[in-house]
Amino acid sequence: MNVRIFYFVFSFLILSVSNNLYSQDPWKLSADNPGPNNYYGETVANGVIGIISSPEPLKVKEVVLAGVYDTYKRGRVSNFIPNYNLLNMKLDLNGESIHSYNINNFRQELNMRNGTFSGSFQYKDFASVTYTYYALRHLPHCVIMIVNVDAQKDVHINVENLLETPTSLNNQQHYFQNITNSHVNIPLLTSVANTPTGKSKIAVSNTFLFEEGKEEQPQILHRMNDTDMHAMSFGKNLKAGQKYSFALIGSLISSNHTIDPYNEAERMTIYAALEGKSRLLNRHLKEWEKLWESDILIEGDAQAQQDVRSMLYHLYSFTRKNTSLSPSPMGLSGLGYNGHVFWDTEIWMFPPMLLLHPEIAKSMIEYRFQRLDAARKKAALYGYDGAMYPWESAESGFEETPVNALTGAFEHHITGDVAIAAWQYYLVTGDKEWLKEKGWPMLKSTAEFWVSRVEKNDKGEYDIKNVVAADEWAENIDNNAYTNGTAIRNLQYASKCASVLGVTAPKEWNLIAGKIPISTMNNGVTREHDSYTDQNIKQADVNLLAYPLKIITDKERIKRDLKFYETKVPHSDTPAMTQAIFALLYSRLGDSEKAYHWFKDAYQPNLNPPFRIIAECKGGTNPYFATGAGGVLQAVMMGFGGLDIDEAGSIKQVTSVLPKHWKKLIITGVGRDKKTFVRTR
């Protein structure tokens, strides 16, 4: 059997089994009896802290803290640092430690509506246990785990919370104290340590929260294991028929977030404890209700509804308003791609967030504005004017790409990507003050970069030579279609920005933009770069000229480019965004069948059990790929839904078609006016 045919048949069978095993509840993803083999954790996050689930009960795999980078084991560039696992809990029942192998009826569930992850199990015939944890949406540095024990027989429980300093941190200090006054007793288990080079300090502080009054609460014991870990614990005897509930509250923060992380971690934990469980959960739920005012509803395809909502849930989880944080390709689901920020943000994740929650998109573009000076310095280092954004960015805004990857020195379209996002933010929000203070400096500086970057040729055109293409298998080539396209749009948008602000823009901006070449081959297909013939490509490049750049608008040419390049993308080892663009464009061309084919191909072969977590490539094992989610959401919103931003900033619907079995697509809470758009068969 042909290998490719075998792969498709195998994938179909696996997905068919998966669809039977897992509920298609539009809001919940669940797993019965999850085990350590073939388990890919689900993430609960609030835009600052990410908690990744574990196949072990009452455990989490790891905790990710946004915005904290240092060099550690992964080359000479900075990366996200393995951090304190502040929800590390151990439960003993009658002296036996609870593990996945000695419990029954183990079930885990992600509730996307309210951003919670829960587990439940039965221990012999003694007790049933449920636990639920939250990355509190309204308190960006706080988490809570709530545990309920239902005793069927007399049983003794012992609970321990362990703070272990990971090997990535050093110079750790451990503290334990009871904050006591007339009405409360708050035990604080606290650890403080430095990142590897000492550039940042990280602090974590936990407390138990009980429902009993101060005098009835169990006694808290503290123990030091060694210099790397300490723990607090309590014991409780339960009678048959008794139900017992307690919570673990914790705070995780660094000197990148506040000047005094040690004291602030303890203050936040005390604050959360005295707010109490009900107030904490009510505010958390209200924040998620606000997020879901902007939603995507699919009638006629329950599995697509669940999958698309999962993608939206993850983008919501990995971002938040009123910050200068920008998500990496894997968001807060782990340490993948070092936590660096690429074009994945501006071109793939930013557009859905801009339409659904522009206040969050503002934080994403703020990240780039705050690093504009670093981009200017990089341009000067390479002999250019203006601002040249790094291919991989972290805390400083300087280049963070490992030197063995040519992308760091040559993948220059990122500069245009940032400028395009800045202009799109203005169009959707109409925020002229922002445009003047932040948008214009970015657009002006990036336009100045392209003016110094282009080279005039004998035809009077302006070449952009020696780049790595958006198709990264094409290295050190000239006139890459997508790179040239971003330069064109950057220069044009900078000119429009100047006009809006009443500023005189250099005439050369539009002159150069009009003479940057986008060439075609003898067959009429747009050429990816000057030396391109018919090589395989890593990902969409030319096709991005039709969307999002809208440089190629002729439908026959768009179709011709699609038919050619869709055959040049190998079935494996390519990222998920390409097929999403194919789906989007085919929908706008009116080809429902091909649009749906590429929609499915964009993510279904990339899913991992037990929660249908998206990996970067087909058969990949590095979830969660937020970039791919952003691409598929654009296929749904801008493709099937036809949403489009016109030159005046209005959000409208262009002609497009739904998959044949979809009855209706409803997109709510769009733009600053929170409009609803509907597309039907």
Please give the sequence-ordered ranges of beta strands (E in DSSP) within 276-426, or none if there are none.
296-299
* Residue listed under structure tokens 């859905």: 352
Element (H, E) at 495: helix 481-501
Q: Supply 670's token pair.
A: 């769009």
Q: Supply 451's token pair.
A: 């003016």
State the burial class of residue 522 (Cβ atoms within 10 Å of its Cβ: 0-12, 13-18, 19+).
Answer: exposed
616 catalytically annotated = yes
Could you tell me if 31 and 309 are in contact, meaning their C-beta atoms sit under 8 angstroms apart? no
Whole-number Å distance between alpha carbons of 140 and 393? 22
Whole-number Å distance between alpha carbons of 230 and 234? 14
Whole-number Å distance between alpha carbons of 529 and 210? 65
Listed residue (517, 460, 514) closest to 491, CA to CA:
514
* Residue listed under structure tokens 């791919």: 628
Q: Which of 109, 472, 528, 566 is catalytic?
A: 472
Q: Supply 434's token pair.
A: 């922002």
First to last CA, the chain: 38
Listed residue (494, 492, 497, 498) closest to 512, CA to CA:
492
- Verify cis geometry, omega within 30 degrees of 0, for the bond prior to 548: yes
> How many Å separate Cα 520 from the centre of its chain?
36
Listed residue (329, 317, 344, 347) closest to 638, CA to CA:
347
Whole-number Å distance between alpha carbons of 223 and 597? 58
Element (H, E) at 43: strand 43-45
- Verify cis geometry, omega within 30 degrees of 0, for the bond prior to 218: no
Residue 607 phi, psi dihedral angles, 5° rounding? -80, 145
Question: Torsion angle of alpha carbons 97, 100, 102, 108, nearest 10°?
Answer: 110
Could you tell me if 249 and 269 are in contact, meaning their C-beta atoms sit under 8 angstroms apart? yes
Whole-number Å distance between alpha carbons of 499 and 509? 13
- DSSP collapsed to 3 states, 578-627: HHHHHHHHHHHHCCHHHHHHHHHHHHHHHEECCCCEECCCCCCCCCCCHH
Q: Are strands 142-151 and 60-65 parallel, antiparallel or unpaired?
A: unpaired
Q: Supply 376's token pair.
A: 């200017």
Question: Which neighbouring-strand residues pair with 159?
Answer: 91, 234
Give the chain's radius of gyration (CA, Å). Answer: 26
Question: Which neighbouring-strand residues pair with 237?
Answer: 156
Q: Supply 482's token pair.
A: 């997508």
- Sign, CA torsion 269/274/275/281: positive
96 catalytically annotated = no
Please spell the DSSP secondary structure of 147-161, one letter per residue: EEEEESS-EEEEEEE
Q: Which of 275, 366, 400, 616 is catalytic?
A: 616
Enzyme catalytic residues: 472, 616
